[in-house]
């Protein structure tokens, strides 16, 4: 095993399929795998589970009628393994009821049961706006012209306690052009007045804080078309995962809710966008996925340091049922790894 590569984090877990410097990816039912975790060991679980859609997808989504029970079954185990300051971030897409142009309430039922029965707190609700999302559902939007395009997912930020670890300064948004102009000479452009509420906003106004406080509407286009992952997939003759989410989504919450070498877990990892982002940010991570082909494909995200001639060989090794040990995908040290090594020296 390469020096610096993450060791299997818990002895009770089966061997992972592949390892990197900071993480490990496991094949199996995440509910069963989580039961091997000790209590209070995970800082953040961020995931995008299969949605409760009406049409069955290749990635195995559940029917709406059983979805809430199914997903909340994971909630209790996730809460057990989280630290007291830990968070559970769930990305859930909307859906319609069968045969009629009215919405399903499944994501709200999930939220209520996670809080009322499982014991989570709703730290804050976020909404992921994907401006590149195609018009859907076809029947009500494209054909009959009865509904607007559905382009927002609900993202529930759930916490184990009332005081989860969080620092919004780690996810500041770029200032607008108008704000940058104001910061150059605040007195010339703005004369603060009392707000109708009586709040005094003059204190600290006009100071450059490195960026603006982000809103809970996250505008992140899902337009991946020529990423390293897709290029590697094409190289080995594999289609990309059909429900990838953009790196910007887990990146926001990993930066916001974790620091240093905190442990990040994705229980429905798919193509393992979360693990790739966590690796880049220097966080420890664990990914879990039930589909063996998705696990093998997700490893391509960690092969960008390999020459093309070795990618196919490594992928074949991952796909082989006779594999006896985790595949080492730890690349060269990142800038983060080097900085950490210098600090520890």
- Phi then psi dihedrals of residue 238, to 5 deg: -115, 140
Residue 263 in tokens: 């442990």
Within the chain, strands assigned E span 18-19, 23-27, 42-47, 82-92, 121-129, 152-159, 217-219, 263-266, 284-289, 327-328
Alpha carbon 205 to its chain's center: 33
- The Cα 271–Cα 275 span in angstroms is 9
Q: Where in the sequence numbering do the catalytic residues fall?
A: 48-49, 91
Beta-bridge partners for 42: 82
String of b and e for 67-95 (b: at least 16 CB within 10 Å)?
Answer: bbeebbebbebbbbbbbebbbbbbbbbbb
Give the neighbor-by-neighbor strand order of the sheet with 121-129. 217-219, 121-129, 152-159, 82-92, 42-47, 263-266, 284-289, 23-27, 18-19, 327-328
Nearest of 290, 287, 293 to residue 273 by alpha carbon: 287
Q: Is 143 exposed, middle or buried (0-12, 13-18, 19+ CB in 10 A)?
A: exposed
């Amino acid at each position: 095993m390469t020096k610096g590569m993450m060791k299997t984090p818990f002895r009770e877990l089966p061997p992972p399929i592949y390892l990197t410097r900071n993480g490990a990816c496991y094949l199996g039912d995440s509910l069963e795998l989580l039961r091997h975790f000790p209590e209070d060991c995970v800082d953040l679980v961020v995931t995008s589970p299969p949605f409760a859609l009406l049409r069955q997808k290749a990635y195995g989504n559940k029917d709406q009628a059983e979805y809430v029970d199914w997903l909340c079954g994971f909630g209790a185990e996730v809460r057990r393994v989280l630290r007291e300051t830990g968070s559970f971030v769930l990305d859930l897409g909307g859906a319609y009821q069968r045969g009629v142009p009215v919405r399903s309430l499944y994501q709200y039922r999930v939220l209520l049961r996670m809080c009322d029965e499982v014991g989570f707190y709703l730290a804050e609700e976020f909404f992921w706006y994907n401006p590149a999302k195609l018009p859907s559902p076809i029947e009500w939007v494209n054909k009959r012209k009865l509904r607007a395009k559905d382009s927002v997912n609900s993202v529930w930020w759930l916490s184990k306690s009332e005081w989860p670890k969080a620092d919004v300064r780690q996810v500041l948004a770029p200032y607008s052009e108008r704000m940058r102009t104001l910061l150059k000479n605040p007195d010339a452009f703005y004369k603060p007045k009392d707000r109708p509420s009586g709040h005094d906003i003059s204190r600290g106004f006009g100071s450059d804080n490195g960026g603006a406080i982000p809103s809970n509407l996250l505008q992140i286009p899902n337009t991946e078309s020529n990423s390293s992952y897709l290029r590697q997939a094409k190289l080995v003759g594999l289609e990309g995962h059909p429900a990838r989410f953009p790196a910007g989504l887990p990146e926001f919450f990993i930066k916001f809710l974790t620091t240093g070498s905190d442990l990040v877990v994705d229980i429905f990892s798919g193509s393992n966008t979360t693990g790739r982002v966590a690796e880049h940010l220097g966080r420890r991570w664990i990914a879990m996925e039930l589909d063996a082909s998705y696990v093998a494909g997700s490893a391509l995200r960690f092969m960008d340091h390999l020459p093309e001639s070795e990618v196919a060989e490594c992928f074949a090794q991952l796909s082989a049922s006779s594999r006896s040990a985790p595949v080492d995908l730890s690349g060269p040290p990142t800038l983060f790894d080097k900085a950490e090594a210098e600090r520890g020296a």
